[in-house]
Chain A
Amino acid sequence: MYEKETEDVKEVVTSGPTVSGMFAPDQKNLVEPDSKAEEDYERCVQCGYCRLVCRVYNATYAERDYAGGRNRILKSLKKRAINFDKDQIIDAIYQCMLCGNCRTVCPVGIDTLNVFQTYRRTAVRKGVMPEKLQVLKKSIHTNKNPFLESGTDRFNWCETQSCDEGHMAYERGAEHSRRIASGEIKPSDIEEHLVGYFVGCTSAYRNNELSSATCRILDKMGVNFIVFPDEYCCGSVLFRTGLEDDAVQLTHYNVDMIRELGVKEIVFSCAGCFSTFTTEYPKFIKGDLGFEITHMVQFVSKYAKENGLKIRYTKRTKEDPLIITYHDPCHLGRYCGVYDEPRELIEMIEGVKLIEMKHNREMSWCCGAGGGVRALYGEISNDIASSRLDETVACWENINENRLKEAIETDAEMLVSACVFCKNNLYLTASQTKPDLPVIDISQILEECEFYK
C-alpha cells in the first residue's frame, strides 16, 4: 500500500496549483496600484496577505511590522484614536525594508511603498529622527555621501584597486567637464553616444570591487564611457528614510550636472541609485531627464547583442559550468520591473548556469538591508538575510542531490545579486553563518569574462 502510494506521489505534478491559488505569479490585482494615492491605506481590507510575505514580520512576529498592521495604525492616527509620539513610534515606522513584496500581493492594489515612504516623510516633518539618521543626514549635507568620508576622496578607489580603467574614465570625465566648462564644446554639439558610469557612494567608498569591476567590464567591451568627477550621492537613502526634503537638492544637482555634460546614457552598478533615478527623480524634474538610464545587467546584455559580442566565463567551461543562483534585488525587481534582463545576461554567459531559488522575481525575498533596516536594526536585518541564505542553500542541496544522481561532480556554487546592498548584507551574514557560501555581485563574474565576436 505504502509503496504504491509513494509511486503515485512521484507522478503528481506539483508545479501547478493543485491546491488552490497560493500566490500565483499570473494573479492580477483587481485594482492597479495608484502611486499618487498617499493615503491609500484607507483601502486596506485587512486580508493579511502581506503578513505572509513580509520578511520583517517573519522575524519579529509583531503585528505593527507588516503592511496590514501598519495600515491599521495609520488609520487610527488619522482619526486621532491614538497619539503620535515621536519617540515611541520610531520602530513602527522604520522596522520595514520597503521591499515592496506587500505591494505585489495586495489584492486591492495599495501602493504600500508609496504609502509608507510618505508616512516616513510626514513623521520626519513632525520631528521623528533616529539618531543614526541624524548622522547620515549631516554627512550627506556636508560631504555628499552618507559615510562621513571626504567628498574629495570619492575616486580614491581607482588607486587603491589599481584600476587603470577607472582612472582613465575619471581623466576622460575631468577633461570632458573642463572642455564643457570652458565653452570649448557644447552639450548639444556632442553627437557620439557618450556613456556615463554613475558610481554611487557605496561602490565609491565601501565596495570598490564593484566600481573597479564595472569599469573593467565597460572597458573590455569597448564602451566609450566616463565617470563623473563631480558626482554627489543620489539621495536614495534620504528618500527611503523619510528625509525627502533633504534629497530634492541632490536630485536637481545630479541631473543638471549630467545634462551639462551631454551624456546620453547613464549606467549604474548600484541598484539603489538606479531605482532612485528611475522612480524618484522624475517626480522632481520637470520634463524628460534628458538621458537614458540603465543598470549594468541591462546594459551589458543590450550592448553585447547590438555589437555581436559573445561572453565567456574564463574560469569554467560550458561542460562544467559555474552554478549560480540569482537573488533579485528589490530596487531592481519590484521597484523597476527588471527581472528578465539579468537572467538573459546570465544565460548569455558561456560557463555559467542559473538555478532559481523558490522565491524569485516578483516574489523574491528581500535581503534585509533596505529602507534603513540594516543601519537601524542590524539583528533583524541579519535574521532576514539568514533566511534568504537558507533558501539559497536549500536550492543547492536540491541541485546537488540531482547532480549526484547524475554522477556529476559539483563544486563552486555562488549566490549572485546585482545590488551592492544585497551583496553586503548577504555576504556579512554568510560570513558569520555560512562561511562556505560565496556571495558576489554579478559584475564580479562579468569581470572574469571575455567578450569576443
Chain B
Amino acid sequence: MNASKVREEGNFTEEVKEFIPPTHVSTDPYDIEATTGDLSLLPKYHYKFKEEYKATHVIRPGSTDELSKLMKKCYESSIPMTIRGAGSSCYSASTPTRGGVVIDMRRMDKIHDIDPKNMTVRCDAGISWLRLIETLLDYGLGPKCYPTSYKASIVGGFIVTSGKVGVGVLRNGPMKNAIRSLVFVKPDGSVEKITRDSQGDLKLNDIISSFGILGAVAEVEMEITLLNKSMEYVGYGFHTYEMAVKFFRTLKDNDASKPFFLSLSDKNFEKYAHWTYPARAFFVYAVYSDTPSVTSQCLAFAKDVASNLDGLAVEGWYLKEKWRDLADTEVNVGRWCQNLIFQEYLVSDDKLEDFYDFYIKKTSRQRYRNAFYLMSGTKGENRIKLFGLSDIANSREFFGIKAVFNDITNFNYRNNDSLYTIGVVNTQYFLKYNSERASYLRNLKYNLDPEDLLNSYRLTKAKMRSWRLGLLFWIAKRLYKTA
C-alpha cells in the first residue's frame, strides 16, 4: 500500500479533522517538504532507497486520545504511518518509506505531573528534552539521563532508539532503568500502559530499541534525580590512543564515583567542534556531579591516573566551555562541509582498541576529512561516532565514505558489537547479524501490524537487498579511490 492509497481514500482528511484540529492536519506541499528530512542532510538520491519518501499528510496529534484515533484510522484504511520525533536521529528514519501519513509527535509536549516525593515525572513523549530539563531545573531536579542532542531531541525518540549512551547514563544507568511506565499506542490504535513488570504480549524491553516499529510511545513516567551541589570537570590530553583509552577506562571503572559524562575524542573532532582545541592528539573529558567532597576526590584520582599515563591537563575554562557547548559539538562538525555523514557504533569496553585500529586502517589512505568521538554508555558499552565531511554535490565521495563505514560496520558486527542507531539502509546489517532478535521482533510486528504499515522497512524487513548494497559500496570504493 502506498501514497496513492491516501488519495483514493477521499474522506480521510475530513474524517481525521473531526478528531484532530484542522490546522494540525496538513497537506501543504511545503510543510510536507520540510518534514521530509532530518539532521543527516542526506542528498535526495539517498531517498531512492525508499519506496516513497514523501508523505501525503503531516498530522500532529496533541494527546494520547488523538494519537490513538489517528493510528486506528490509518490502520483501518491501510495507510502507512511514520512516527516522527524531532528528526534529530539520522538517515531519514523519521521520514516515510512508503508515503502515507507522517505522525508528528511534537504537539504532545505537556508535562502532566512532577512528583518530588516519589522522584518521578510524567510527561508526553513529544516534549523536548530541553524543555523538560529547564522545567525540572526550577525545582532543583533533573532527569537521570538524557541524550547529548538534548537541545533538539524529544523524550520518546531517546527511548525507542535505545537510550544506552548519553549524559548521566554511566552514573545513573540507561534510559530503560529510569522508565517506570509508558503509555503505548499500538499500530491499530489500541492503548496499553506498559510497566517494568508488564507480562502481556509487549514488554518494556521490546519497546526500548524498537525504533518505533511496534507503536508510538505517547506518555512516559520516569524517575528523576536531585541535582547535585558540586560539578567538576576533568580533561587530559594524550599523545596516543592507547594511553587515552586506558585513562578513559580507568575513570569509567572507578566504582567510587562514576562520571556524569565521559568522552574521548581525537584532535580532529575537537578542532571541528570548538573555537579552539587541546594540543595533543587525543582528549579525554569527564564531568562529575556529586557532593563537593566526592567530586574533589574524583579530581585527585583522575590527576593521579593521568600523571602515570603522561596525560597533559587541559585548562579549566576549556572544560567548562565544553560542558556548556556539549549539545553543540556534534552539530558543529557540520559547519565545515556541505554534507556531514556520520555513523554510530555500539562498542564494548574491551574492543575499543580493535575498533580504533581498524578505523585507522580504513581511513589512513582516504582523502576525506574525518573525526572520531567516543562516549561512554553503561558499564561495558560505548558509542563511537565517526564523521565524514563531504560535499553534497560529490556523490562519489558520499558513497565512498559510506563504503568505509560499511566495512567498519561489518567489522564491528563480526566483533560481536553492533550499530548504535538503525536507519532504513542499516536494517540490512541488523537482519544479517542479529537474526535472532530480528526474528523475535518480526513475530511481534506481524501480530501487531501484519501489513507493515508503521515505520515500514525497518528492523524486520529491508527495502534494499544485501547484495545490492554490497555491490554499491564495492563500486563506490573503487570509484572514490581512483578518482
Q: Tell me the A residues contacting B by CB distance below 8 Å.
A: 2, 5-6, 8-14, 17-24, 26-28, 30-31, 42-43, 45-49, 51-52, 60-64, 69-70, 72-73, 76, 79, 81-83, 85, 88-89, 91-92, 107-108
Asked whether any CB of chain A lies closer than 8 Å to the CB of B290, the reply is no
For A45, list chain B residues within 8 Å (CB).
Answer: 39, 41, 331, 334-335, 340
Provide the residues of chain B in CB contact with A20, threshold 8 Å: 150, 167, 261, 287, 323-324, 326-327
Q: Is there contact, CB below 8 Å, between B152 and A49?
A: yes
Assembled-state Cα–Cα distance A47/B28 (Å): 23
Residues of A within 8 A of B117 (CB): 2
The CA of A30 and the CA of B336, in the complex, are separated in Å by 11
Q: Are B107 and A14 in contact (CB under 8 A)?
A: no
Residues of B whose CB lies within 8 Å of any CB of A are 23-24, 26, 28-31, 33-41, 44, 58, 60, 86-88, 104, 106-107, 116-117, 128, 130-131, 133-134, 137-142, 146, 150-153, 167, 226-229, 231, 261, 274-275, 287, 289, 323-328, 331-332, 334-335, 338, 340
CA distance A70 to B87 in the complex (A): 15
Contact for B33 among A49, A61, A73, CB less than 8 A = A73
Q: Is the CB of B34 within 8 A of A70?
A: yes
CA distance A15 to B30 in the complex (A): 40
Q: What are 9 residue pairs bridging A and B, where the CB atoms are less than 8 Å apart in the complex?
A: A5-B226, A9-B227, A12-B227, A20-B167, A43-B335, A46-B38, A61-B24, A76-B33, A82-B30
Residue contact A108 to B335, C-beta cutoff 8 Å:
yes
Instruction: Say yes or no: A21 contacts B326, CB within 8 Å.
Output: yes
B34 touches A107 (CB 8 A): no
Nearest-neighbor residue (CB-CB) of A58 within chain B: B109
A49-B151 contact in complex given A8-B226, A17-B323, C-beta closer than 8 Å? yes
B34: A residues at CB distance < 8 A? 62-64, 69-70, 72-73, 92
State which of A10, A11, A48 has its C-beta within 8 Å of the C-beta of B88: A48
Residues of A within 8 A of B328 (CB): 21, 27, 47, 107
| Alpha-carbon separation in the docked complex, A92 to B30 (Å) | 7
Task: Kindly report which residue of chain B lies nearest to residue A88, judged by CB atoms.
Answer: B29
CA distance A12 to B326 in the complex (A): 22
With a CB–CB cut-off of 8 A, which chain B residues contact A14? 137-138, 140, 227
Contacts of B140 in A (CB 8 A): 8-10, 12, 14
Q: Smallest CB–CB gap between A395 and chain B, Å? A: 13
Contact B275 A30 (CB under 8 A): yes
Q: Name the residue of chain B whose CB is nearest to the CB of A43.
A: B335
A20 vs B328: C-alpha distance when bound (angstroms): 11
Which among A19, A46, A61 is the interface contact of B107 at CB below 8 angstroms?
Answer: A61
* Residue from B28, B29, B104, B335 whose CB has the most chain A CB atoms within 10 Å: B335
A-B pairs, 3 with minimum CB distance: A48-B152, A45-B334, A69-B34
Contact B335 A9 (CB under 8 A): no
Q: Given A26, A30, A51, A73, which contacts B30 in the complex, CB threshold below 8 Å?
A: A73
10 more A-B residue pairs beyond the given contacts A81-B44, A92-B31, with a C-beta to C-beta distance below 8 A:
A19-B146, A22-B133, A27-B325, A30-B335, A42-B338, A47-B88, A64-B28, A64-B31, A70-B34, A107-B328
Q: Tell which of A18, A46, A63, A79 touches B31, judged by Cβ atoms closer than 8 Å.
A: A63
User: In the complex, which residues of chain B have a beta carbon less than 8 angstroms from the beta carbon of A19?
Assistant: 133, 137, 142, 146, 167, 227
- B26 close to A62 (CB less than 8 A): yes
Instruction: State how many angstroms separate the Cβ of A407 from the closest Cβ of chain B.
Output: 25
Q: Are B23 and A60 in contact (CB under 8 A)?
A: yes
Q: Which of B87, B231, B274, B287 contacts A46 (CB under 8 A)?
A: B87
List A contacts of B338 (CB < 8 A): 42
Residue numbers in A under 8 Å from B24 (CB-CB) = 61
A21-B325, A64-B30, A82-B29 known; A9-B151 Cβ under 8 A: no
Instruction: Please give me the residue from chain A that is nearest to B58 by CB atom.
Output: A63
In the complex, the answer to whether A61 meets B152 with C-beta atoms within 8 Å is no
B247 to chain A, nearest CB (A): 21
B33:A18 contact, CB within 8 angstroms = no
- Cα-based distance from A82 to B29 in the complex (angstroms): 8
Closest residue of chain A to B333 (Cβ to Cβ) is A45
Question: Which residues in B have their C-beta under 8 angstroms from that of A24?
Answer: 324
B290 to chain A, nearest CB (A): 12
Contact among A18, A27, A91 for B28, CB-based, below 8 A: A91
Taken together as a complex, chains A and B put the C-alpha atoms of A2 and B338 apart, in Å, by 52
Write the nearest CB–CB distance from A170 to chain B, whole angstroms.
47
Q: What residues of chain A lie closer than 8 Å to B38, measured between beta carbons?
A: 46
Distance between Cα atoms of A88 and B30 in the complex (Å): 8
Complex interface: chain A residues within 8 A of B231 (CB): 18
Q: Given the complex of chains A and B, what is the CA–CA distance between A49 and B128 in angstroms?
A: 11
- Inter-chain CA distance A201–B151, complex, in Å, is 41
Smallest CB gap from A110: residue in B: B335
Contact partners of B39 in chain A: CB under 8 A: 45-48
Kindly list chain B residues whose C-beta atoms are within 8 Å of the C-beta of A91: 28, 30
Report the bound CA distance from A26 to B325 in whole Å: 10
Report the bound CA distance from A62 to B24 in whole Å: 8
Contact between chains at A48 and B142 (CB < 8 Å): no
Could you tell me if B323 and A85 are in contact, using CB atoms closer than 8 angstroms?
no
The reply to whether B152 and A47 form a contact with Cβ atoms under 8 Å apart is: yes
B323 in contact with A46 (CB, 8 Å): no
B130 pairs with A52, CB closer than 8 A:
yes
Distance in angstroms between the alpha carbons of A27 and B237 in the assembled complex: 24
A residues less than 8 Å from B332 (CB atoms): 30, 107-108
Q: Looking across the interface, which residue of chain B has its beta carbon closest to that of A92? A: B30
Q: Chain A residues near B141: list those with CB within 8 A.
A: 9
Closest to B62 in A: A61
Cβ of B270 to closest chain A Cβ, rounded Å: 13
Contact A18 B227 (CB under 8 A): yes
Question: Which of B28, B106, B138, B139 contacts A61, CB < 8 Å?
Answer: B106
- Is the Cβ of B340 less than 8 Å from the Cβ of A88? no
Complex Cα distance, B32 from A92, in Å, reads 11
Query: Chain A contacts of B104 at CB under 8 A?
Result: 61, 63
Asked whether A47 lies within 8 Å of B31 as measured between CB atoms, the reply is no
A117–B44 Cα distance when bound, in Å, is 26
Query: Contacts A30-B335, A61-B60, A63-B35 given: A48-B30 contact, CB under 8 Å?
Result: no
Q: Does B37 contact A72, Cβ atoms closer than 8 Å?
A: yes
In the bound complex, how far is the Cα of B151 from the Cα of A24, in angstroms?
A: 12
Report the separation of the CA atoms of residues A135 and B180 in the bound assembly, to the nearest whole angstrom.
Answer: 58
Q: Are A47 and B324 in contact (CB under 8 A)?
A: no
Chain A residues in 8 Å Cβ range of B36: 72
- Complex CA distance for A21 and B146, rounded to whole angstroms: 13
B37→A46 contact, CB < 8 A: yes
Q: How far is the CA of A99 from the CA of B133 in the complex (A)?
A: 25
CB distance from A249 to the nearest CB of B (A): 32
Complex: how many Å from CA A2 to CA B131? 25
List the B side residues contacting A83 at CB < 8 Å.
29
State the Cβ distance, B147 to closest chain A Cβ, in Å.
11
Q: Which residue of B lies closest to A66 (CB)?
A: B34
